Amino acid sequence: MTTRLLDYRTSDYVTHMLKLNNIEVVYSDVILVLRGVSLQVEDGKVVALLGANGAGKTTTLKAISGLLHTELGQVTRGSIEFDGARIDRLGPEDIVERRIVQVMEGRRLFSHLSVEENLITGALARANGNTKSNLEMVYEYFPRLRDMRGRVSGYLSGGEQQMVVIGRALMAHPKLMLLDEPSLGLAPLIVEEIFQVIKKINQKEGTAILLVEQIAQAALEIADFGYVMETGRVVLDGPADKLRDNEDIKEFYLGLTQLGERKSYREVKHYKRRKRWLG
């Protein structure tokens, strides 16, 4: 059962840009990964999708972007709608044409190409775009990429590569950007810088963002709304500020006690076995 802190889905919200309606996802016809997942992303909002490894977060993104079809996965129940049209039966190319772009975990880029060549590949999804002005836009968000535009991408640091893949996605002027673990393997200062840019992109470009992240504090600082996943289903949702103040989130995902003190790994592991919302 999903615990709802505050339902913001009132009659004032007439349209929902992205809606997942009670979807189930199965791999290879036998492995059930998602179990009745429902969530939505409003136009121009940042939504955080939190949870531990194996919770189903990445599978949720792939269900939206159509990449499930390339991995023997399929949505077997429910539906996914974007701007009022059903998209869960479409391939990834058709979904990209609807300006939904996924930035995959692991900073996947063309390592033999230069920074600028990588960025230009992102513009191919939007043939009528102005490549030169789009590059300038990306360089405004990531100034250090301007200085290394000619460098081979495979020799960049992890943080610089993350900037490239986000910039490449931005070249397509997406309506919805799906970000999968942008903090993975990065130093805290770089994580902070990248999350500030993500928020700036949302505010300046109006890009809606569905952010999959394990660092709950960083994600909830820039998000409007959040969902928590465990074992393939949503177990908790609410406005980001309510989730930040929620004792379950603070104790388990932020590792803090009710007094604001950081918990030991052993205590967090014990809490993992007794999460109250699964009781």
User: Which helix or strand (DSSP H or E) is residue 269 part of?
Assistant: helix 265-272
The helix/strand/coil state of 141 is: helix
The residue with tokens 């840019």 is 197
Query: What is the Cα–Cα distance from 168 to 123, expressed in whole angstroms?
Result: 7
Q: What is the mean pLDDT of residues 156-168?
A: 94
* Model pLDDT for residues 86-95, shown as the tens digit of each residue: 999 999 999 9
Which residues are within 8 A (CB) of 130 and not within 5 positions of it... i.e. 6 or more apart? none
pLDDT tens by residue, 12-23: 444 569 999 999
Strands 208-213 and 176-180, bridge-based pairing: parallel
- Shortest CA distance to 119 belongs to which of 161, 165, 154? 165
User: What pTM does this model have?
Assistant: 0.84
- Asked if the model's pLDDT at residue 78 lies above 90, the reply is yes
Strand order in the sheet with 208-213: 3-4, 233-239, 225-230, 46-50, 208-213, 176-180, 100-103
Which domains are assigned to the chain?
3-99+174-241 (3.40.50.300), 109-171 (no CATH)
Tell me the average pLDDT across 230-254.
Answer: 85
CB atoms within 10 A of CB 126: 18
- Tell me how far apart the alpha carbons of residues 219 and 157 are, in angstroms, rounded to a whole number: 22
The first and second tokens of residue 2, run together, are 């999903």
| CA within 13 Å, CB half, 196 | 8
The runs of H, that is alpha helices, within 124-246 are 131-141, 143-147, 158-170, 188-205, 216-222, 240-245
pLDDT of residue 91: 92
